[in-house]
Amino acid sequence: MKKMMRPVFAALLAGMMLLAALTGCSQKFGSMGEYLNDQAVQAELVAAIAEAEAQGLGVDVSANANTLTYTYTYAEGIEFTDEDKALLQDALDSSADQFNEMVDQLKPLLSFDDPVIEVIYLDSAGAELARASFTGSDSASS
């Protein structure tokens, strides 16, 4: 289980670092793309990616309209059993409160009401291991 939790913590850390970059910011972003392209966010993103890569995860952060997607890819040579996949999904699902809180903290920075944070884990071949989307504390994750 410990092996499965580390990447979830990496995702949480990356999200928190991006939010911290804009603490006190009065600017409203019209899309997740605008948010992701902000200079302060980009500076924090570099540090967050380095942290995840130190744990053996490749990271891609992308934005599409109202969705900010964190895609983590495991390094080659790591094999995943069905049990490992289930544990990773469970670890991600058990972190829903923290990810929903990140969405809630993003909302005041955005000029739209329906932001989504999506977290995806892939193996080195690109096969999906786990995925979840978070829309804030006033709704359930999927």
pLDDT value of position 133: 96
Q: What is the CATH number of the domain that holds 54?
A: 3.30.300
Helical (H) or strand (E) element with 64: strand 57-64
Instruction: Answer yes or no: is 140 within a domain.
Output: no
- Alpha-carbon distance of 41 to 44, in angstroms, equals 5
Contact in structure between 47 and 17 (CB atoms under 8 Å): yes
- What is the pLDDT at residue 105? 86
Residue 142 maps to a domain: no
The pLDDT score that the predictor gives to residue 1 is: 41
What is residue 25's predicted lDDT score, i.e. its pLDDT? 63
- 139 belongs to a structural domain: no
- What is the per-residue pLDDT for 36? 87
Q: What is the pLDDT of residue 125?
A: 93
Question: Which residue range(s) make up the domain with 87?
Answer: 2-134
Nearest alpha carbon to residue 66 among 35, 24, 91, 108:
35
pLDDT the model gives residue 2: 44
Look at residue 141 in the predicted model and tell me its pLDDT.
Answer: 47
Is 38 domain-assigned?
Answer: yes
From CA 120, how far away is CA 69, in angstroms rounded?
8
In the predicted model, residues of the chain with pLDDT beneath 70 are: 1-26, 139-142
Q: For the chain, how long is the longest CA-to-CA vector?
A: 46
| pLDDT in the model for residue 95 | 87
Bridge partners of residue 110, in order along the sequence: 29
Q: Which residue has the tokens 């495991």?
A: 74
Q: Report how far residue 109's alpha carbon sits from residue 52's, in angstroms, rounded to the nearest whole number.
A: 25
- As for how many domains the chain has, the answer is 1
